[in-house]
Structure 1
Amino acid sequence: MNTVSQVSERDRYARCISASKRVRWEIDRDVIGGRTFDASQKYLPDGLSLAQKFFTLSASEKTFVSQIQGRTYANVFGLVERFITAKVLDISRDHWLGDQVALEALVRFSDEELKHQALFRRIDEMIDETLPTGYRFVVDPDAVASRVLTKSTWAVLALTLHIELFTQLHYRHSIAPDNQLSDLFRSVFLYHWKEESQHAILDELEWVRHDATITNRDRDQGVDEFIELVVDIDCILQAQAAADAHYFVANCARGIDESEGQSIESNFLEAYRWQYIHSGARHPRFGEVLDRLVSQQQGKRIQAALGRLQ
């Protein structure tokens, strides 16, 4: 790496530190602010819940769908930020006795991710007070995080950038005019986005830095393991879509036959695949970085795997 590149990268780490200090927020003071969830409002915007796809449901039923998805959203982010925090702490060791600017940026990153986990635990608890009993999140976050962390650093960093980038898109979807969207959840999107914007930059820097240290064979293994991780996520989404559809049917104010129930489950799965897989995989920046790191053949393998998750 030449000196100009080193200076440029150090400047990007420094700018992330500066932005982190500027946008720093607290859960109670800034996000929750003494508010509670209103069960008459949507918790996720239509652009994420894909409410329009639930064509057999009434407006109030679609609102209930968005609320169920909102609780699952909190749980999914509580899960993914568990392994992201662990991986960021792990890779920070590369800077312990080196670039202290990069180290500070990653330490702040991990601190913010711990705060995000606490935020989403609070949101899950608060939503629980507004919804009927019987909701369940089908996986153990620690068990999933442990499995993710068995994969190569290349694969985990690829998945992490993918996740951090789709949070940017989720925020943009959340601010579309929608007078039925929960103001509290709108704040969750806003404040989460403020810090994740820096995290996406750091993810990219660390992924590219790590990629420069590995062999072609290691990278090929990383591609395979990234695909495995995405498939694992899809399995979780399939199970959660089934659980959430069952919960919706059990608590719907009218009877729903088997055919409609299957349609509702398919709609949940389509929404979850959009939220947690395709919105990140199709993000232009993710594609740009990936194309710089992998061969054409490797890129085609990833695209083929994603194409099967429709």
Structure 2
Amino acid sequence: MEIMTEVDGATINRYAKCIAASKRVRWDIDRDVIRGRSFDYSKKFLPDALSKVDALSFLGQDEKRLLSQVQGRTYANMFGLVERFIAAKVLEMSGPHRLGNQTALEALVRFSDEEIKHQELFRRIERMCAEGMPDGYTFLPEANSVASFVLAKSTWAVLALTCHIELFVLAHYRGSIDGDMNSSDLWKDVFLFHWREESQHAILDELEWQREDAKLSPEERDTAVNDLIELVAAVDGILQSQASADADYFAMICGRSLSMTEKDSVRSGLLAAYRWQYIISGVQEPRFSQVLSNMITGNQLSRIETAMAPIMS
């Protein structure tokens, strides 16, 4: 009760608006998204602005399309991965609201229910890709192991990472996926419907992150900043491993023998694309940087920027 008595009417109204939007855009995987369709492999999955395949000038157009499909498969799996820990954290965050304001409670319960549905959507997408693409693809990170590592960090850091993820989801769809005319229609619909529910989630992330921040002492927040730096480093480690695995898979299925230099270029190109997709594009979102900078000191921001420098370069 005491937490919610500190929440003003405007904040509660933001929770209420998320509920209304959730009800309005609610969708079903089979009825609304897949609708009995399969992926069109004559088209790309990820648009060039996300896949960065044009940087690999030695690849032909068919090879670039195939590489975008490999990246797209990993893109879907990455969201299935992160939504495992996001759903668990949101359920945890709903706890203090149980005997408080029921508007906030309903908004967070809906959030967690939608994230569980998204996990199932991306499991379906992986099964469909496995049927339509050659054998040999491997998604390396294990969802429960990653979730256990993430959830062991401070709540502030987990919510910071979550808010970052939800915001780049919105940015990717609005800035690249929505207007792309060269991608599979079904693939675009998957991320259209995903975007519709993630739009509410980003608002709730921000509200809960700010609520958590208000509870921390300066010392606790400083420790949380260290946790966030460790989480970003862990994400980058996942990206490095998956970029290598995806490069090997592409080399195996592309239909010709790549030179060692070409293989290395594909690997480095994938890592650069993945760092852009899952780290840099979120960090550069004005909404994320504004919320973060309002919580931390200049020294803490400098520590984050120093840790990020090798990734950003």
Kept in 2, the 8 Å contact 1:23–1:195? The answer is yes
Change (3 A) 1:247 1:14: same
> Structure 2: how far apart are the matches of 1:244 and 1:193?
25
The equivalent residue for 1:89 is: 91
The amino acid across from 2:70 in the alignment is I
1:213-235 Cα distance to aligned partner (Å, 9 max, x none) = 11111100110100100000000
The equivalent residue for 2:177 is: 174
The equivalent residue for 1:188 is: 190
Please state whether the residue corresponding to 1:118 is helix, strand or coil: helix
In structure 2, which of residues 119, 122, 129 is the aligned counterpart of residue 120 of structure 1? Answer: 122
Please state whether the residue corresponding to 2:294 is helix, strand or coil: helix
* Structure 1 unpaired stretches of 5+: none
The equivalent residue for 1:266 is: 268
User: 2:218 aligned with 1:213, yes or no?
Assistant: no
> Structure 2: how far apart are the matches of 1:291 and 1:13?
23
Superposition deviation, residue 308 in structure 1: 1.5
The amino acid across from 2:284 in the alignment is R
Superposition deviation, residue 304 in structure 1: 1.7
The amino acid across from 2:137 in the alignment is Y
> Structure 2: how far apart are the matches of 1:200 and 1:281?
14
Superposition deviation, residue 5 in structure 1: 6.2
The equivalent residue for 1:75 is: 77
Moved more, 299-308 or 68-77: 299-308
> Structure 2: how far apart are the matches of 1:53 and 1:169?
21
> Structure 2: how far apart are the matches of 1:4 and 1:214?
15
The equivalent residue for 1:133 is: 135
Kept in 1, the 8 Å contact 2:251–2:258? The answer is yes
Moved more, 48-57 or 224-233: 48-57
1:109-153 Cα distance to aligned partner (Å, 9 max, x none) = 000000000000001111111111000011111101110000000
User: 2:33 aligned with 1:18, yes or no?
Assistant: no
Superposition deviation, residue 277 in structure 1: 0.4
> Structure 2: how far apart are the matches of 1:103 and 1:278?
32
1:148-194 Cα distance to aligned partner (Å, 9 max, x none) = 0000000000000000000001112102242x211011101110000
The equivalent residue for 1:304 is: 306
Kept in 2, the 8 Å contact 1:166–1:280? The answer is yes
> Structure 1: how far apart are the matches of 2:48 and 2:189?
16
The equivalent residue for 1:256 is: 258
Query: Identical aligned pairs, as a percentage?
Result: 56
* Structure 2 unpaired stretches of 5+: none
> Structure 1: how far apart are the matches of 2:180 and 2:189?
14
> Structure 1: how far apart are the matches of 2:212 and 2:8?
14
The amino acid across from 2:258 in the alignment is I
> Structure 2: how far apart are the matches of 1:294 and 1:2?
24
> Structure 2: how far apart are the matches of 1:175 and 1:20?
20
> Structure 2: how far apart are the matches of 1:269 and 1:198?
30
> Structure 2: how far apart are the matches of 1:207 and 1:2?
15
Kept in 1, the 8 Å contact 2:4–2:97? The answer is no
Kept in 1, the 8 Å contact 2:73–2:129? The answer is yes
Kept in 2, the 8 Å contact 1:170–1:189? The answer is no
Pairwise CA RMSD: 1.4
Kept in 2, the 8 Å contact 1:38–1:130? The answer is no
The amino acid across from 2:244 in the alignment is A
1:65-123 Cα distance to aligned partner (Å, 9 max, x none) = 01101110111111100000000001110101111100000000000000000000001
Kept in 2, the 8 Å contact 1:85–1:114? The answer is yes
> Structure 2: how far apart are the matches of 1:107 and 1:5?
18
Superposition deviation, residue 2 in structure 1: 12
> Structure 2: how far apart are the matches of 1:29 and 1:170?
24
The equivalent residue for 1:98 is: 100
Please state whether the residue corresponding to 2:243 is helix, strand or coil: helix
The equivalent residue for 1:285 is: 287
Please state whether the residue corresponding to 1:73 is helix, strand or coil: helix
User: 2:277 aligned with 1:275, yes or no?
Assistant: yes
Tell me the TM-score normalized by structure 2: 0.96
